[in-house]
Amino acid sequence: MARHIYRCPLRWSDMDAFGHVNNVVFLRYLEEARVDFMFRPAPDGVTSSFTEGTVVARHEIDYVRPLVHRHEPVTVETWVTRIRSAAVTLSYEVKDYAAGEPAVEGGERPDVLYARASTVIVPYDLDAKRPRRLTADELAFLEGFLDGRDEGREKSRALVA
């Protein structure tokens, strides 16, 4: 299980009149993390099929702590929590690592968490204008980031079986 780590730069204008990063802007950070996820670790074919062939079907986001503009990026961790034949759920944490670095495996991780969120992505055939199934390449890529804590992985296995 891997998590995709994106160091998301803030903009001064992300703050609203209350002097905090506005709640809506967090969804922009998730968008940037998704774009990075689909471009950097993904193989080329998956990048193009994702970029041109998916739509956002749902977001959930819980705000944990206010975030104020600073020059250092904030970290967005992205991973996969559920794979269906025609839907993928990505989960995220928007946070700062305590020491500015990912904690060693098994070690304590006293991160400063700003938000937890998830997004349901639906593969979509833009020409035919209807949902499509995940391709085998997409499935293989997504499985590498799957951490469903039991249910996600099994169902995914069933899909490719």
- Residue numbers of the site for a copy of itself (CB under 8 A)? 9, 11-13, 15-17, 19, 22-24, 27-28, 31-32, 35-36, 39-40, 55-63, 66, 69, 71
| Min CB(118)–a copy of itself separation in Å | 10
Min separation Cβ 57 and a copy of itself, Å:
6
* 121/146 with CB nearer a copy of itself: 121
Nearer to a copy of itself, 9 or 144 (CB): 9
Smallest distance from a copy of itself to CB 114, Å: 13
* Phi and psi, residue 149, nearest 5°: 55, 55
